[in-house]
Amino acid sequence: MTKPEITTHHRVCHLCEAMCGLVIKTEGDTVVDIRGDKNDPLSRGHVCPKSVALKDIHEDPDRLRKPLKRIRSKAGHYEHVEIEWSEALDLAADALAKTIQTHGVDAVGAYFGNPSVHNYGMLTHQKNLFRHIRTRNRFSATSVDQLPHHLISMWCFGHMLLHPIPDVDRTHYFLMLGANPIASNGSIWTVPDVRRRLKALTARGGKLVVVDPRRTETAELASEHLFIKPGSDAAFLLALIHVLFRDNRVAPGKLAEFTDGLEDVHNAVQPLSPQWASKATGIEASDIERIAHELADAETAICYGRMGVSTQAYGALCQWAIQVINVITGNFDKSGGSLFTKPAMDQIVNSSPGGFDRFRSRGRGLPEFNYELPAATMVEEITTPGEGQIRLMFTGAGNPVLSTPNGRALDGALETIDFMISVDPALNETTRHADVILPPTSPLEHDHYDIGFHNLAIRNTARYNPAIFDNPEDSLHDWEIFAELGDRLAQRLDLDPVPHHAPHKLVDAALKAGPYGSDSEWQLSIDKLKANPSGVDLGALEPSCPNRLKTPGKRIRLSIPEVLNDITRFVEATDTEDAPYRLIGRRHVRDNNSWMHNSHRLMKGKARCQLLIHPDDAEREGWNNGTTVTIQSRVGTVESEIKLSDEMMPGVVSLPHGYGHGLAGTRSGVANQYAGVSCNDITDEQFVDQLSGNAAVNGVPVTLRARI
């Protein structure tokens, strides 16, 4: 028998936002080696430990290969059994049609998780189904993550996807809040090899200042780290703006020609002094003044904030203040500051600019954004009777039982609905409730182009890679699932189906019509990218404003009435919670939310699902390393071993996100061995950013007590 030849493939890792290039070697149908692609112009050979998970996901014995149907066994409990595709698709289409015909489109709820953005077939072909289901009950991971970014980009710059990207490779001063790119590889900022880039910043005499309630892996590299009380970042940022105006350090430069609202901003921050902010944040007033001056005096500078400032009670206000700082110091749209990308497939051209508050949730009246309601309202939209109550739930590449606030309540609510459909390769804590699970092919069985993350990259590049393995017989790609299901539903509702076009054809058309396409010297197309499997370098980010702006008159809008009103809400708010501790999340470089815990190579080693607590707090409580404590919030309790760590700010405790495996009916052998506890069993669906509706999963008030 002839031994299969070793074949070399090029591929982008799609497991986080970094888009690291890989060289993958296969022998027959087996992956034998995964390494960084040194010729990739963006990642330059860098990879993180997650790259091996591509092999593990592909070969995972728990990965679903055929559709599953939920049945009740003779013993009286539910179990899932394999069925054929035709039966599965018909079951799903029948349930959708019946629900819509009986109760209307709003009786269908839909939730899409983080991985849906990493698989371009899901992005391009959701419309094949949901054009027939224009439900108001759409939700996604966006509102447990980056919704404040989108809202502020829409208001200030005219499009929800116009995110200024930190130009770390050319900056001299970097103020970073609530972000840990050493663990995340960047977030709303595609920045592979970030450790080397940050070290290069300080090596050339630049300064990195990290503000965070935990001394993170990134803070360990920083020139300076400042602890801050969770949820108080807005005070710090507003006081920086106050100092810049007070001390005549506002210098927008060329931006002044197309920026509106500076006077309104000045008036709003006049009373918000460093002394006021110091009481709220725990940061010395002198440090606030110094950092404001350093930002203003630096040759180039960046202010950037991520999860820690987005997923809190004033997330949108924080993101607005960050953009204000970059504009009034003249560092927006400037090399070495924050710049817009010029991607080959430009989502700014190919998508809606977004919309806000066109309707509200039935329960608390939280606003929609881009026709999605906040994920924190899912439970009440399922359980509240009346017109628009969710009776059928559709999930795509998501595990909201572990990843959205008060997951236990959602876990219970999903058992009350009439029918559930999931497009997912895993039988996990959420999909175990599904009546039908439709599993797509593995990542290595389909081609790939990063539609979303090229729009967020620190350098303009483009890269397309074909599938490494042929898709097996009797399997469907995610885009084919949406197309087939959409056709069946259209037939049942007597509607016109949406035409089928493979994703690579849509990308090819967009590339040819884009800024590096048929009318340029680049002549980009799918064929040209195939001929350059490590990707094409399209150059550094460049100033592009005001032309790149999508606001009326192409002007930066800083005077946002809703945000200025939120300053008043923030200033007037008082902390009435009788809770001695604030809970924050954390991330590890081997994790990505809940969906990589079934890889033994990523999970082995020291336990990671522990509650970090400052030694002084533990000593006061009389606890030692390994003590098991009960963590209680308004919505529930979990138990966890504590780990003493002086990287925590006193009064702040931290649990990682994405754990809580081991529930009955799941098929995740490795993940269930490292089950941990879900921090979202104690995050509170009522604790949200009232302005945007984004979940506030950081700064949750909790009490601790030793397990009895």
Rg (CA), the chain: 25
Q: What is the mean pLDDT of residues 302-331?
A: 98
Beta carbons of 374 and 208 less than 8 angstroms apart: no
603 near 674, Cβ under 8 Å? yes
Mean pLDDT check: name the lowest of 1-5, 52-56, 615-619. 1-5
Say how far residue 68 (Cα) sits from the centre of its chain.
Answer: 28
How many residues would you count in the chain?
708
Q: How far apart are CA 399 and CA 419, in angstroms?
A: 17
| C-alpha span between 204 and 80 (Å, rounded) | 58
Q: Is the model's pLDDT at 708 over the cut of 80?
A: no
Domain covering 164-339 in this structure, CATH number: 3.40.228.10
Q: Give the Å distances, CA to CA, from 301 to 164, 170, 241.
A: 13, 9, 15
What whole-number percentage of the chain has pLDDT above 70? 99
Measured between alpha carbons, how far apart are the two ends of the chain, in Å?
A: 63
Q: Are 217 and 185 in contact, with CB atoms under 8 Å apart? A: no
pLDDT of residue 515: 97
CA distance 228 to 122: 39
246 pLDDT higher than 60:
yes
Strand partners of residue 583:
653, 700
Average pLDDT over residues 238-256: 98
Nearest residue to 229 via CA among 284, 310, 287, 283: 283
Q: Given a cut of 90, is residue 77 above it in pLDDT?
A: no
In the predicted structure, residue 374 carries a pLDDT above the cut 80: yes
Q: What pLDDT sits at residue 578?
A: 57
Q: Does domain 574-706 have CATH number 3.40.50.720?
A: no
525 has a pLDDT exceeding 70 = yes
CA 585 to chain centre: 14
Euclidean distance between CA atoms 522 and 633, whole angstroms? 56
Token pair 């945000």 in the structure block, residue = 563
Q: Which two tokens stand for residue 288?
A: 């606030």
pLDDT at position 73 over 90: no
Any idea what the Cα angle at residue 647 is, between residues 644 and 652, rounded to 5°? Answer: 75
User: Which one is the CATH code of 68-145+347-538: 3.40.50.970, 3.40.50.740, 3.40.50.1360, 2.30.30.170?
Assistant: 3.40.50.740
Q: Coil, helix or strand for 437?
A: strand
Mean pLDDT of 380-403: 97
- Nearest 5°: phi and psi at 652? -120, 135
Q: So what's the pLDDT on residue 574?
A: 59
Are residues 384 and 362 in contact, defined by beta-carbon separation less than 8 angstroms? yes
What is the rounded distance in angstroms from the CA atom of residue 206 to the CA atom of residue 294? 11
Cβ 427 vs Cβ 396: under 8 Å = no
Q: How far apart are CA 242 and CA 261, in angstroms?
A: 15
- Name, in order, each residue with C-beta under 8 angstroms of 125's C-beta and a sequence gap of 6 or more: 478, 479, 482, 483, 503
Residue 176 has pLDDT above 60, yes or no: yes
Q: Contact 493/132 with Cβ under 8 angstroms? A: yes
Distance CA 14, CA 446 (A): 12
Rounded to an integer, the average pLDDT of 37-63 is 95
Which tens digits make up the pLDDT trace of 574-626?
554 457 899 999 999 998 778 889 999 999 999 999 999 999 999 999 999 99
- The span from the CA of 521 to the CA of 388, in Å, is 52
pLDDT band at 350 (very low <50, low <70, confident <90, very high): confident
Task: Express each pLDDT in 488-503 by its tens digit.
Answer: 999 999 999 999 999 9
- Mean pLDDT, residues 351-375 taken together: 97
ω into 546 cis (within 30 of 0) = yes
Mean pLDDT over each residue of the chain, to the nearest integer: 96
| Cβ pair 380, 706 in contact under 8 A | no
Q: Answer positive or negative: Cα dihedral of 667, 668, 672, 677.
A: negative
Q: Provide CB contacts within 8 A for 285, sequence distance 6+.
A: 273, 274, 275, 277, 278
Residue indicated by tokens 């992956």: 31
What pLDDT score was predicted for residue 227? 98
Helix residue ranges per DSSP H, 353-502: 378-383, 400-403, 407-414, 478-493
Residue ranges per structural domain of the chain: 68-145+347-538, 164-339, 574-706
Question: Are 21 and 36 spatial neighbours (Cβ–Cβ below 8 Å)?
Answer: yes
312 close to 346: Cβ distance less than 8 angstroms: no
Decide: residue 46, CB within 10 A, 0-12 exposed, 13-18 middle, 19+ buried: buried
Q: What pLDDT is attached to residue 2?
A: 72
